[in-house]
Amino acid sequence: MPIYNAPTRDLQFVLQDVLKLPETGLPGHDELDRDFTEAVLDAAGKLASEVLAPLNIVGDSQGCRLENGVVRTPEGFKAAFEAMKEGGWTALDCDPDYGGQGMPYVLGAATGEIFVAANIAFNMYQGLTHGAYSAIHAHGTDAQKQTYLPKMVSCDWTGTMNLTEPHCGTDLGLLRTKAEPQQDGSYLISGQKIFISAGDHDMAENIIHLVLAKAPGGGEGTKGISLFIVPKFLVNEDGTLGERNAVSVGNIEHKMGIHGNSTCVMNFDGAKGWLLGDLHKGMRAMFTMMNEARLGVATQGYSCAVAAYQNAAAYARERLQGRAATGAANPSGPADPLIVHPDIRRSLMDQKSFIEGARALALWGAHLIDRSHQGDAEADGLISLLTPVLKGFLTDKGFDSAVQAQQVFGGHGYIEEHGMSQFVRDARITMIYEGANGVQALDLVGRKLAADGGRHVMAFFEMIKTFCRQHADDAALAADFITPLKAASKDLQSAAMFFMERAARNPDDALSGSYDFMHLFGQVAIGYMWARMAVAARQALDAGTSDAAFFETKLTTGRYYMKRQLPMTATHLVRIQSGAEPVMALSAEAF
């Protein structure tokens, strides 16, 4: 049985020492001091370790079953969902006007890491609901908010996102689901949606589907799309549940992983739906949900790696195999533990330095969301730029990291018993859903980079430049952190410059390098986070912390990242600068 222990100390370090929540913080959130966030994280960790993590492998092996048109979740899921609701976790960062606790998004992201690491498939039921909550909160009428939000905040009702159809995923302009207006202002929705996570299950009284469909009179392509609220059970005037709507589960998919989450084919056969937001402006409303979902998936990507890493580290300390090249480390035992071997260390350090950097980056991103919600335009621009980077890079690297953790187990990692295969199979989806990572790269290079005249990327460069200048004379940090960060940031700027010079003449010159650019950006962003963490660790040490070992470990782990991961930016730059020619030279038939 895999282990999981919430890394409360590491999360606290980011929230309190790096982001300094109480100081820099969020107006109206004066409660976010060290004791408070620790209590929240501890409670989340307890639920995760005691209830969610033990169900992770159960969910994988049992999967979801479609029985007489209803999806049955794995044994224990329903009780765990009740525990999550009772703990108030589903309401944590929701609006108090609808029963939420009004905590900032960054705290939801921190507890989100914990819940995802313990059981990603389980946590999706709540995660999807939160996305649907946000869309209704942002675009719904007062009546819609009153009807749906309180029940969704409590997760008595859960939510879904219905975008994909058999013939289209990324290219939503092609979608065929139709919405026919009715006399009473409602619509009848007809069509088939696929890959609908949490599409049906037995843990909620009602399921609120948000469905993209084409209503008459819209333009071609994405311009004709609107978003509709389609509840599984219609809701009466008094809020009680009425008749079953004409939406049904066609099938559940057999997938590589996240077996504990029901991925459904949903059939809408003239189901009653209500417009959410403006007619023919469904994409805009959908993107409210999507941007949040993308950050959620970024968290999923690295959180799977956190769980996998904890098990790999434990195994490496316990499993006796071979002897250290520098002399027996465990002379009284039959062999030394795996962790004495440099290549096992290399793997664990790769994982550890990525995970901790990713955590800081994801939480910084969540903090930017909070600032953006409070009207900070700069933060809004920055997180809009960073969203595809976080989604694409953290999920790609999170998957790689889980694969490395599995590798530490050797053959024992390949059998299902130890759960390492599951971490890899589960992590794999994060590179695909909510916009496959190639689409994130396209979004970054094709849209976000040049948005508002390139202002946001310039602000990012300026922020790093200022940071480097501030710490240039800090002898303890300059060589190990500032110099490599500067070099990596320069690679990123050169790449952006290359795109600017070339893209006007040939957009393919930029698009051919988009994936490398997303990774280059991710490396620099994590490098920047490590430099900030190093500053925070140094400050704690200089202030005479009683926990010096913790902060020294941060510095050592950060140095590893700067020395052995960050130099990858140079290779990305070389690839980018090779332009479109090598990528586009072959005819389609030559493949």
Smallest gap from Cβ 263 to its own copies, in A, equals 8
Stretch that binds its own copies, among 35-43, 86-94, 277-285, 500-508 (CB under 8 A): 500-508
CA 164 – CA 439 distance, rounded (Å): 15
Considering only the stretches 76-84, 200-208, 275-283, 313-321, report the one whose residues sit in contact with its own copies under the rule CB under 8 A: 313-321
**DSSP secondary structure of 216-243:** TT--SGGGGEEEEEEESEEE-TTS-EEE
Which stretch in 13-21, 125-133, 153-161, 562-570 sits in contact with its own copies by CB under 8 A? Answer: 562-570
Asked if 563 is part of the footprint of its own copies (rule: CB under 8 A), the reply reads yes
Query: How many angstroms separate the CA atoms of 186 and 181, rounded?
Result: 6
- Is residue 499 close enough to count as binding its own copies by CB under 8 A? no
Binding its own copies (rule: CB under 8 A), the pick from 29, 78, 255, 373 is: 255
Window 369-398: residues binding its own copies (CB under 8 A): none
Mapping DSSP to helix (H, G, I), strand (E, B) and coil, where does residue 535 land? helix
Q: In the complex, what is the shortest distance from the CB of residue 565 to its own copies, in angstroms, rounded to a whole number?
A: 9
Distance of CA 333 to the CA centre of its chain: 43
Taking residues 261 to 300 in sequence order and writing x for each that binds its own copies by CB under 8 A, - otherwise, the string is --x-------------------------------------
Rg, Å, the chain Cα set: 24
Positions annotated as catalytic residues are 434
Q: Identify the DSSP state of 469.
A: H
Provide, rounded to whole angstroms, the least separation between the CB of residue 120 and its own copies. Answer: 14
DSSP code, position 151: H
Among 75, 97, 205, 417, binds its own copies (CB under 8 A): 417
Q: Which stretch binds its own copies (CB under 8 A): 39-47, 252-260, 298-306, 447-455?
A: 252-260
3-class SS at 434?
Answer: coil
Nearest Cα to Cα of residue 134 among 125, 145, 118: 145
Measured from the CB atom, the residue of 374 and 407 that comes closer to its own copies is 407
Regarding 57 and contact with its own copies (CB under 8 A), the answer is no
From the list 131-139, 249-257, 282-290, 372-380, the region that binds its own copies by CB under 8 A is 249-257
Q: Does 1 bind its own copies (CB under 8 A)?
A: no
Among 96, 216, 219, 322, binds its own copies (CB under 8 A): 322
**Closest CB 102 distance from its own copies, rounded Å:** 35
For the beta carbon of residue 38, count every other beta carbon within 10 angstroms.
16
| CB contact set of 116 (below 8 Å; sequence gap of 6+) | 123, 299, 300, 303, 304
In angstroms, the first-to-last Cα distance of the chain is 44
Whole-number minimum distance, CB 254 to its own copies, in Å?
A: 5
For 196, 323, 426, 483, the CA distances from 297, given in Å and listed in that order, are 15, 40, 12, 32
- Residue 115 or residue 423: which is nearer to its own copies going by CB? 423
- The Cα–Cα gap between 188 and 180 comes to 5
Please tell me whether residue 584 binds its own copies under the rule CB under 8 A. yes
CB 129 within 8 A of CB 317: no
Q: Which residues pair with 291 in a beta bridge?
A: none
Q: Contact between 591 and its own copies (CB under 8 A)?
A: yes
Q: Which is nearer to its own copies, 252 or 383 (CB)?
A: 252
Work out whether 504 is an interface residue with its own copies (CB under 8 A): no
Question: With respect to its own copies, which residue has the nearer C-beta, 143 or 585?
Answer: 585
H or E element that contains 294: helix 282-318
Please check whether residue 153 is in contact with residue 126, taking contact to mean a CB–CB distance below 8 angstroms. Answer: no
Binding mask 345-374 for its own copies (x = CB under 8 A): xxxxx--x----------------------
255 CB burial (10 A radius; 0-12, 13-18, 19+): middle
335 lies in the site for its own copies, by CB under 8 A? yes
Whichever of 140 and 388 has its CB closer to its own copies, that residue is 388
| Residue 305 lies near its own copies (rule: CB under 8 A) | no
Asked if 13 is part of the footprint of its own copies (rule: CB under 8 A), the reply reads no
195: contact with its own copies by CB under 8 A: yes
CB 229 within 8 A of CB 210: yes
**Do residues 302 and 362 lie in contact, with contact meaning Cβ atoms separated by under 8 Å?**
yes
Q: Is 331 in the site for its own copies (CB under 8 A)?
A: no
Query: Can you tell me which of 46, 65, 465, 564 binds its own copies, judged by CB under 8 A?
Result: 564
Q: Tell me if 582 contacts its own copies by CB under 8 A.
A: yes
Stretch that binds its own copies, among 82-90, 274-282, 383-391, 424-432 (CB under 8 A): 424-432
CB–CB of 286/212 below 8 Å? Answer: yes
Residue 500 in contact with its own copies, rule: CB under 8 A? no
Centre a 10 Å sphere on the Cβ of residue 455 and count the other Cβ atoms it contains: 15
User: Can you tell me the distance from the alpha carbon of 314 to that of 321, in angstroms, rounded to the nearest whole number?
Assistant: 14
Among 30, 416, 501, 547, binds its own copies (CB under 8 A): 416
For residues 394 and 296, is the Cβ–Cβ distance under 8 A?
no
